[in-house]
Each structure stands twice: as structure tokens, then as C-alpha cells.
Structure 1
Amino acid sequence: MRILIAPDKFKGTLTGQEAAAAMAEGALRVYPEAVVTALPIADGGEGTVEAAVAAGFSERLDSVVGPILKPVGAVWGFNEDSKVAVIETAQASGYLLSEPTVENSLRAHSYGSGQLVAAALDAGAVEIIIGLGGSAMTDGGTGALRALGLKLLDAQGNLVPLGGGSLVDVVSVDVTGLDPRLAGVKVRMAVDVDNVLHGPYGAAHVFGPQKGADAEAVELLDAGLRNLAAVVQTSMGIDINIPGAGAAGGFPSMFVACADATVERGFDLVAALIDLETHLDDADLVITGEGSLDVQSLSGKGPLGVADAAHVRGIPVVVVAGRITVTAEQLAEHGVVASVSATDVAGSGEAALAEAAKYTTLATAEALNGI
């Protein structure tokens, strides 16, 4: 029996690697002779670097400017052979690095993420994958590009302050100082949303309240993103109000304007990065899961992306999650033959959260005993 264990993180309790270890213990209790392979996955947001490192990328650490100007240590991954770098906005510009206040929602910026891009360029990267998600800012990616030499100017020719709250004052963009190395790399941005940059379905209106923005701040941030898009359209002839540009506070937009950059479905990008297909070809059974398996999961992100890829190969899939709010019939459409939640095994959500690894192990064993 060859078992591939490919979970996403259990947000707030277990990393992808920790979840995989707990599932492996449960699997070996039922199939002690099995050959188990752990392959954490991600949707392209938080956990993308971890998945890359687990797949063989070297782990690097740099001190960068956090979203509210405090220094933070940010981890990223690099493959010395392929010269591919993997970074996350959550590491350098994440919401966990900033209090979600109205003031911070306007001040937060992505400068530190740009510093990670610069570090990747320093390492000789020819391709940079940026996992978008878990961000604190709504600055259209301007902070990151400013770390790479972009200038945003107001009507007096002065640099506007960092942060989304200042974008309404931008009247011109100066790209003459951009790091020339940026032109020589491919930037691939992994997203799991298709929101545009501005408007009712844009970055500010949809995600701003999660970052501390009240109604007035949301309108200011949206006006800033709208203004930025207008300036870029006028001066550079590029439309940055495109599907996916609203991810991570609009982060992709200025990379689309200033670099050879694409916006891609996060799960597909990560699956290729970690060579999921090759691992599936060697598997007799797949175990996957995440913290909360719900209706959003059914769109093929994360665990059910794994399940779909296994299903087309005729490989049975077992799902283990912190909690499961979809039906067994819905999961069966994705090739899932058994599913158990840690919450059900523990008896309550509180107990499952308190001892996540323990109950994930027990849930895995229970699921496998049921097939």
C-alpha cells in the first residue's frame, strides 16, 4: 500500500506539515506496512512557502519592513537548480503583523514583500512565484514596487506616503528607477479569488473590512485603487482592473503594469511546483484535508483539487478535516470514499482545536477503518 498524504494547513492549529505528520501516524496505525509520502499542499496563499520547502526548496529568512513599518523576519523558498523563488505576502505583509484598526487599514503597505522579491533577484532567481493571501494592506501592490524602485508622485511632484490611504493623491507614476533585473524574470502570482481591483467586488469593498477598514475607509481605499488604475491606464496604457487583481489588497495590479507578471489559479500553480501529478502516479490511496472543509472547498481549491486529480486516475481519496460541513454525497462526486472530522471524533470543536494533532490522527485512523 502506497499512501500519499497531501493536506492543506489546518488554519490556526496545524501547518500543512504538522497535519501531514498527524495523518501519517493515523494511517500507519491501520496500515503499518504502508509506504507513506507526505506532500503538504496550498491554494497559493499562506502555506505556499511551506509546501515548496517540504517539496525540496531551501528555506531562506530575511528581515524586511512589515506592513506597519516594524521589521519582521520573513521566510521564503528557493530552488538553486531551477532558480525559482517562492514568497508569500503573508510572510512580509500579513494581517497577523498588524492590528486590524481603521488607521492601520489605511497605512498598511506591501513594501516588505517587495524586499523579498529583491532578495530573490539577489539570489539569481529567473522565476518568482508569489503566493497571495493573508495580507494586511490594500495598496495595489504599490509598496512592493516602491521597494523595487517605483515612484508614486502627487500633484506637487512629491512622493506619496506608503499605504492604500494615500493612493487618491497619486497623479503620476515614475518607472525609470525600477530595478532593471525585474525585466529579466517571470513573476507568477498565485490567487484563489477572481476579484477585480476596484469597485463593489474589488479589494477594498470585499476584503477591506477584514483588515480593520470601516465604511469610510473602504470608500477611501477603493477611490485610491480606482485612481491608481486610471493613472496607470493613462500613462502606461495598461488595464490593471482585471480578474484576480483584487487579491492581497490589489497586489497583482502594479506587477501586471511593471513586470512580466501573470495571475494564476493558486492550486494549479502549487500543484505543479510540488510535482503533485508524479506523486499521484505512485499512490494507491490519497489522504487530504484542511481545517474547515465547507462549500467553498467544493470549487476545487486545495484538498478537493487533490481529490479531483486523484479521482481521474481512479485513486480512492480519504478526507480528514478539522470540521466538515458538506455532505458525503457531495464529496463522493470528487472521488472521496470516506471522510471524518476531528471535531466529530473529539466531541466538540473546542476539544479538537485544543489537541488538533491528536484528533487528526484519530480521525484518520477512523476514516481508514471505515473503507
Structure 2
Amino acid sequence: MEKVILAPDSYKNCLEAKDVATAMERGVHRYNKNLETIKLPLSDGGEGLIKSLVYATDGELYSQKVTGPLGYEVTACWGLLGDNETAVIEMAEAAGLQLVTKENLDPKITTTYGTGELIKDALNTGCSKLIIGIGGSATNDGGVGMAQALGIEFFDDKGKPLKYGGQELLKLSEIDLSGMDPKLHDIDIRVACDVTNPLIGPQGASQIFGPQKGGQSKDIELLDNALSHFHDIIEKELNKDVKDIPGSGAAGGMGAGLIAFMGAELKSGIDLVMEVLNFENQIKDADIVITGEGSFDSQTLFGKVPHGVAKKAKKHKIPTFVVAGNIKEDLQEFHHHGITGYFSIIPGPIDEDQAFDRAEELLENTTHQIIRTFYAGKKR
């Protein structure tokens, strides 16, 4: 039987990945309702990670009150996958930029404590595996807040516990792991990470990502020095060197904290998601793969969903098409990376509000045209 794989990312601020896949499916079945369609909504480890994996594995979503990035209570969710063994968490749910107004962004004081509370809740369900997506954070605390929520203690040179925030790391003198939640000793932790930045220095967490989290020019050096001191204490107290590990600077040093305190493994977000979903095995006998994202541009080559999908499909010589909301530039180089063709859903000059309102209809129409053209070519 002819088989079509629908494996899009979300259209940011417009449609979740599963809704994109469903609109694409309608377009396929308008051409031929007997075509087999397999919907595999994806995420590169950032926004939509939980829902993509929960949906694809018939899992369950949980919601709870946790500590937000500024210390106020927020509502956040996490997911348990269909295997009932794997929990999935997005740190942005509890420590994300979207939880702080622009005027209140300040990485000197924001905390990852709520992310630790989500992890604790997941551990209490009895899960044996943990997937954590670490994109979109408002924090620069090296994951110390997260670790505090899990029982790890951090003290200054007077024996006082550290408070919240990246600037507090300058005071760090001692790390005590003795109170760490014992469940963490027996759990496999994989981290979806889409950047390779080191912890400190010109390409580190503070210098590269600090400004987008509200860090003023005068704050950036302070925050970088704080993470440098943080690393020195990790090296002294835990005998671990994490500063140059690719991705250790992700999410304000959360990558470094997860490695140092929990022995986590950092992986490309899209590769990790596809591994969990057994993606390659599901597509290997397909006729065609259709993927997509809201904005398709040169950044797609750096670990985004369409590039990851195309790499897997290319191994099996399966044509891969990208359906995007916005195509910003000439991207013919993508043809060398397994992408057969790319199409915008925008049919002509319409404003952004119209495009957002009509996104599902436009996705359906564009997918329909791709499928018609593809199978007409096969029949010749």
C-alpha cells in the first residue's frame, strides 16, 4: 500500500505540530482517501517537545503549580510517554522567557527551581527515564535552582544557602550532594539540546544568550564570571570538568548543571525525538515524506526538524518535501541535504493575520498540490 509520512514541527505561535500534521493529512486524503498516512508530529527539543512525544506515544499530560523564574507560582505541565517509563519535561514550562514580561527580564535573579520541581513530580510517578528539553529559558543560574529543588545544597563561604539567580553563583563555596533525591541515582537522563555553546567565554551562555534574557551590557561580564566561578567549584568539589562540553552553555548553563549533578547525556533535540519515536523504522518503506515548520530559512540546517527528517529519509532514498509558513531566502543548497522541494503555504499577498487565521486551510491546500504532483509523476 502507498504510504505517506507527515512529520512536521509546530508553526510557532500558530499551530501545534499535531494540528499541522492533521491539516496535511486532509490534503493527502483529498487526493486519495485510500493512501495510508502516518502522522509523526515532531519537535527539535524546544517548544512542543512534550506534546509531540505524548501525542505520538499515546501518553498522558500532567499539570502542577511550581516556582516560576522570578519566584512566583506558575502552572506548568510535563508528560509521561506511552511506555509508562519515560517522562518528558520542557524547562521553559517553569523557567521560560514567556513567563516574564520584557521589562522584568533579569538573568541575575531568575531561577530554574521550578524545573527541578517538575523533575521531582515526574520521579514520584516511578519513571525510569527522563527526557528534558532545555530551550527558551529566562535563566542563567547553571541549573542550580533545579538542583536545589532536588535536594542538592549550595553554600557560600559562611555556610549560608545560595539564593535564586545567576549572580549568586559568585558566592558559591560548597556543593553538598548528600540530600539529592535518591531516585536520581537510578534514572537515565537525556537532554534535548539544540546548541553547542560552551559554558563560559565569548561563545558561552552569558555572552551569547544573556542579552535576550534581559542581561544589560554591565551584567554580562558579571554573569560570565559567575559561571566561571561555578565551574571552578564543580571541578574542585565534584572533580568534573564541564566547561568545554558542547551544549554545556545551553539554557544559561543548564546543560552544565545537568551533566555535573545528574550525569545527563546531551543530544541533538531532533535526533533524540526521532530516536524515541523509532522514526527511521517507521519511514523506511514510505513513498514520500512531508515535513515543515513555521519559518524555513538557513537556520534550519542547524538541528531543526526539516533537516533532521530529510537526513533520515535520504538514507532510504525517500523524496522529502517541506511545507513552510514563511520562506525567507533562496535555499537551493537544501537540495544537497535530502530535501526534494520546499513550498510556502502563502498563496499570494496576504497579511500575517490572514495567514495565521487560514493556516490549516492553506496547509491542506499546499499538501494536496504536492501529493497530486508527486503521484501524477509516479504514474507516468
Would the aligned equivalents of 2:54 and 2:81 in 1 still touch at CA under 8 Å? no
Would the aligned equivalents of 1:204 and 1:218 in 2 still touch at CA under 8 Å? yes
Residue identity in the other structure for 1:72: V
> Could you tell me which of 105, 112, 115 is aligned with 2:117?
115
Unaligned runs of 5+ in 2: 375-380
Following superposition of structure 1 onto structure 2, how do residues 359-370 of structure 1 map, counting pairs within 5 Å? Answer: 359-370=362-373
Alignment-derived partner of residue 135 in structure 1: 137
Cα distance in 2 for partners of 1:159, 1:285 equals: 56
Structure 1 residue 183, shift from structure 2 partner:
1.1
- State whether structure 2 residue 358 is matched by structure 1 residue 355: yes
After superposition, the Cα gap between the structure-2 partners of 1:45 and 1:328, relative to the gap in structure 1 and judged at 3 Å, is closer
- Greater alpha carbon shift after TM alignment, 185-194 vs 56-65: 56-65
Following superposition of structure 1 onto structure 2, how do residues 1-371 of structure 1 map, counting pairs within 5 Å? Answer: 1-56=2-57, 57-79=59-81, 81=83, 83-101=85-103, 104-241=106-243, 242-327=245-330, 329-345=332-348, 347-371=350-374
Structure 1 residue 130, shift from structure 2 partner:
0.5
Residue identity in the other structure for 1:121: L
User: Which string of whole-angstrom CA distances, capped at 9 and with x for unpartnered residues, describes residues 313-347 of structure 1?
Assistant: 11111110111235463232233333211235564
After superposition, the Cα gap between the structure-2 partners of 1:283 and 1:79, relative to the gap in structure 1 and judged at 3 Å, is same
Cα distance in 1 for partners of 2:229, 2:107 equals: 18
SS at match of 2:107: helix
Cα distance in 1 for partners of 2:280, 2:348 equals: 31
SS at match of 1:156: coil
Identity %: 37
Would the aligned equivalents of 1:20 and 1:38 in 2 still touch at CA under 8 Å? yes
- Greater alpha carbon shift after TM alignment, 80-89 vs 324-333: 324-333
SS at match of 2:312: helix
Residue identity in the other structure for 1:68: L
Structure 1 residue 357, shift from structure 2 partner:
2.1
SS at match of 2:340: strand
After superposition, the Cα gap between the structure-2 partners of 1:345 and 1:5, relative to the gap in structure 1 and judged at 3 Å, is farther
After superposition, the Cα gap between the structure-2 partners of 1:103 and 1:304, relative to the gap in structure 1 and judged at 3 Å, is closer
Cα distance in 2 for partners of 1:65, 1:49 equals: 19
- Greater alpha carbon shift after TM alignment, 88-97 vs 32-41: 32-41
Cα distance in 1 for partners of 2:15, 2:24 equals: 11
Would the aligned equivalents of 2:194 and 2:269 in 1 still touch at CA under 8 Å? yes
- Greater alpha carbon shift after TM alignment, 193-202 vs 320-329: 320-329
Would the aligned equivalents of 1:2 and 1:282 in 2 still touch at CA under 8 Å? yes
Would the aligned equivalents of 1:95 and 1:135 in 2 still touch at CA under 8 Å? yes
- Greater alpha carbon shift after TM alignment, 308-317 vs 23-32: 23-32
Structure 1 residue 282, shift from structure 2 partner:
4.2
Q: TM-score, structure 1 length as denominator?
A: 0.94
Would the aligned equivalents of 2:86 and 2:129 in 1 still touch at CA under 8 Å? yes
User: Which string of whole-angstrom CA distances, capped at 9 and with x for unpartnered residues, describes residues 275-333 of structure 1?
Assistant: 21122024221110101111111245311210121121111111101112354632322
Structure 1 residue 259, shift from structure 2 partner:
1.6
Residue identity in the other structure for 1:293: F
Q: TM-score, structure 2 length as denominator?
A: 0.92
User: Which string of whole-angstrom CA distances, capped at 9 and with x for unpartnered residues, describes residues 124-173 of structure 1?
Assistant: 11111101101111111111000001111112211121111211111221
Would the aligned equivalents of 1:67 and 1:136 in 2 still touch at CA under 8 Å? yes
Cα distance in 2 for partners of 1:24, 1:369 equals: 13
- Greater alpha carbon shift after TM alignment, 227-236 vs 99-108: 99-108
Residue identity in the other structure for 2:269: G
After superposition, the Cα gap between the structure-2 partners of 1:101 and 1:223, relative to the gap in structure 1 and judged at 3 Å, is farther
Structure 1 residue 55, shift from structure 2 partner:
1.4
SS at match of 1:107: coil
- Greater alpha carbon shift after TM alignment, 231-240 vs 360-369: 360-369
Cα distance in 2 for partners of 1:146, 1:282 equals: 47
After superposition, the Cα gap between the structure-2 partners of 1:327 and 1:308, relative to the gap in structure 1 and judged at 3 Å, is farther
User: Which string of whole-angstrom CA distances, capped at 9 and with x for unpartnered residues, describes residues 101-124 of structure 1?
Assistant: 466322211111111111121011
Cα distance in 1 for partners of 2:3, 2:82 equals: 30
Cα distance in 2 for partners of 1:349, 1:363 equals: 17
Unaligned runs of 5+ in 1: none
Would the aligned equivalents of 1:340 and 1:366 in 2 still touch at CA under 8 Å? no
Would the aligned equivalents of 2:11 and 2:20 in 1 still touch at CA under 8 Å? yes
After superposition, the Cα gap between the structure-2 partners of 1:250 and 1:300, relative to the gap in structure 1 and judged at 3 Å, is closer
Structure 1 residue 18, shift from structure 2 partner:
1.5
SS at match of 2:337: coil
After superposition, the Cα gap between the structure-2 partners of 1:307 and 1:220, relative to the gap in structure 1 and judged at 3 Å, is same
Cα distance in 2 for partners of 1:273, 1:293 equals: 24
Cα distance in 2 for partners of 1:353, 1:79 equals: 30
Cα distance in 2 for partners of 1:5, 1:266 equals: 19
